[in-house]
Amino acid sequence: MKIKTTLYIQAVKWHSSKSFNIEVHTFHRETDETRVFIDIATHEVVLNIPDIDDAFLTEKHVEQLQKMRVQVLADNHIRLQKVDEEIASLLALESNND
């Protein structure tokens, strides 16, 4: 499969910065309250995309969900440790008051 797209090459400078950086996007960026964009050039490109099927996409989707699952478990483990530490601290204070 082939996809034709336009690349927009622009210089960008954050208002708090002293220098410009060059960026390439697949969409045109406009100056806003935080950044200035200066058009440099555009290029039409044709990208060759490998053929994919629903099975491939499903496999990659499952991989992404598994990565999310690992992160959720890690995040919640940390939260659970903090709750356990708070409980232990309160119980220690309670036993010291007796």
Q: In angstroms, what CA-CA distances link 34 with 15, 16, 92?
A: 6, 8, 51
pTM summary value: 0.60
Judge if 42 and 58 occupy the same domain. no
Judge if 60 and 35 occupy the same domain. no
Question: Which residue in 96, 25, 78, 33 sits closest to 10, CA to CA?
Answer: 25
Judge if 43 and 61 occupy the same domain. no
Q: Which residue has the higher pLDDT, 6 or 95?
A: 6
Tokens of 30: 């406009």
pLDDT digits (tens, 9 = 90+) for 33-60: 999 999 999 999 999 999 999 999 999 9
pLDDT at 12: 98
Residue 98 pLDDT > 70, yes or no? no
Tokens of 14: 């954050």
Judge if 41 and 78 occupy the same domain. no
pLDDT at 70: 96
Judge if 44 and 73 occupy the same domain. no
Judge if 93 and 59 occupy the same domain. yes
Name 3's Cβ contacts closer than 8 Å, sequence gap at least 6. 46, 47, 49
Judge if 42 and 59 occupy the same domain. no
CA–CA separation, 56 vs 75, rounded Å?
29
Q: What is the DSSP string of 55-72?
A: HHHHHHHHHHHHHHHHHH
Structural domain for 60, as ranges: 52-98
Judge if 72 and 96 occupy the same domain. yes
Name 37's Cβ contacts closer than 8 Å, sequence gap at least 6. 10, 11, 12, 29, 30, 31
Judge if 59 and 84 occupy the same domain. yes
pLDDT digits (tens, 9 = 90+) for 2-33: 999 999 999 999 999 999 999 999 999 999 99
Number of domains in the chain: 2
pLDDT at 95: 79
Judge if 24 and 37 occupy the same domain. yes
Judge if 44 and 57 occupy the same domain. no
